[in-house]
């Protein structure tokens, strides 16, 4: 008997390899995949503006990297004794304006340099609902807030983007990205996180807008690829067992399933052959011995020091220097560590 519907996924034209640089932006689901890529020793930069849900905020963030925009203290606002930016997640907020400005501008500069030489940009869109500032808000009326920072509801007007307007802004963003970095491969996904605060019907309207717009730009651009994370959870797994208790976020099993499909469709097959050894080395690194002086543990350290050094020598782009240092420093006879 079949208990879920599996469907074929088109493979990406330029699969990820360990020497590639990946920039990931968008919803919290982006960070789930980003963490898994990092755990498998890929070079990843995640959400330089923090978590972003709507297309306008993603486009504005990317424009700020391309233009290397630096903000000033007057771009911030004070709420609940903390200084915030409407364009950034609260992790960039500060107790003083200078603190927030420094964090934001440092992140923007890092993202600008990284994007210039990145191989892949993965964008996960979460919602087509945007919240525009009203005249009551401390900020430019009509501008879109990337994060509401728990501000009063009267500070916002809710608006659903149209598929055509979203497609147009995404296409302009793609054009700018490829001018800035002609070798960039862009991956779009739609987040399977359900925005139930908007209501079930409005959540589905929102996802429909994003799906239509993203497929339009994917069909019109060779450098753009669509990975069906949303469809894998909603149509393949299709069961509340694969959601957390809030019935909003996919749980561990769902995320792992999407990851396995992502590996098969988007990561180079020779690269995936290294995953087992990388996992083994990382588990060995996390091992905490009861008695580190025993011969058994010394042999354990020597084994993994040798395997880690050999892997780094073969694949210099795999970053396991911290693990190698741990294994080597634990060996009593340092000549045996080399």
**Closest among 224, 225, 231 to 258, alpha carbons compared:** 231
Quickly list H helices, the chain: 28-39, 55-66, 97-117, 163-180, 200-220, 229-231, 252-266, 269-272, 275-286, 295-314, 321-329
Query: Is pTM beyond 0.75 here?
Result: yes
Could you give phi then psi for residue 95, rounded to 5 degrees? -70, -25
**Who contacts 77 (Cβ-Cβ below 8 Å, separation ≥6)?**
83, 84, 86, 138, 139
pLDDT of the residue at 30: 84
CA distances from 244 to 42, 197, 251, 324 (A): 27, 16, 5, 36
What are the pLDDT tens digits along the chain (338 aa)?
A: 566 788 899 999 999 999 999 999 998 888 889 999 999 999 999 999 999 999 999 999 999 999 999 999 999 999 999 999 999 999 999 999 999 999 999 999 999 999 999 999 999 999 999 999 999 999 999 999 999 999 999 999 999 999 999 999 999 999 999 999 999 999 999 999 888 888 899 999 999 999 999 999 999 999 999 999 999 999 998 887 888 878 788 888 999 999 999 999 999 999 999 999 999 999 999 988 888 889 999 999 999 999 999 999 999 999 999 999 999 998 886 544 55
| pLDDT value of position 334 | 56
- CA geometry: angle 171, 110, 116, nearest 5 deg: 45
When the candidates are 3.50.50.60, 2.70.98.10, 3.40.50.1110, 3.30.565.10, the CATH number that belongs to 21-268 is 3.40.50.1110
DSSP secondary structure string for all residues of 180-227: H-TT-EEEEEE-----GGG-HHHHHHHHHHHHHHHHHHHHH-TTEEE-
Residues of the chain with CATH 3.40.50.1110: 21-268
């Amino acid at each position: 008997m079949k208990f879920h519907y599996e469907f074929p996924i088109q493979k990406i034209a330029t699969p990820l390899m360990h020497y590639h640089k990946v920039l990931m932006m968008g919803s919290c689901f982006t960070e789930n995949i980003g963490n898994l890529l990092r755990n498998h020793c890929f070079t990843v930069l995640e959400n330089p503006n923090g978590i972003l849900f709507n297309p306008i905020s993603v486009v504005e963030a990317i424009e700020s990297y391309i233009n290397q925009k630096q903000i000033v203290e007057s771009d911030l606002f004070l709420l609940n004794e903390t200084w915030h930016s409407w364009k950034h997640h609260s992790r960039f907020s500060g107790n003083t304006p200078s603190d927030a400005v420094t964090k934001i501008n440092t992140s923007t500069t890092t993202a600008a340099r990284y994007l210039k030489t990145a191989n892949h940009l993965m964008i996960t869109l979460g919602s087509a609902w945007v919240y525009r500032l009203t005249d009551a808000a401390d900020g430019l009326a009509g501008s879109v807030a990337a994060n509401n920072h728990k501000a009063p509801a009267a500070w916002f007007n809710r608006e659903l983007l149209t598929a055509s307007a979203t497609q147009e802004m995404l296409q302009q963003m793609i054009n700018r990205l490829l001018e800035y970095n002609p070798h960039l491969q862009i991956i779009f996904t739609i987040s399977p996180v359900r925005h139930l605060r908007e209501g079930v019907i409005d959540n589905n309207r929102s996802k429909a807008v994003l799906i239509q717009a993203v497929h339009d730009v994917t069909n019109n651009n060779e450098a753009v690829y669509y990975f069906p994370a949303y469809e894998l959870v909603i149509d393949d797994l299709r069961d509340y067992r694969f959601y957390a208790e809030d019935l909003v976020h996919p749980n561990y099993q769902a995320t792992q399933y999407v990851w396995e499909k992502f590996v098969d469709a988007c990561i180079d097959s020779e690269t995936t052959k290294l995953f087992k050894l990388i996992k083994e080395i990382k588990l060995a690194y996390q091992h905490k011995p009861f008695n580190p002086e025993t011969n058994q543990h010394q042999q354990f350290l020597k084994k993994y020091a040798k395997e880690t050094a050999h892997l780094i020598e073969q694949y210099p782009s795999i970053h396991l220097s911290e693990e190698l240092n741990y294994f080597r420093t634990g060996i009593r006879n340092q000549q045996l560590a080399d």
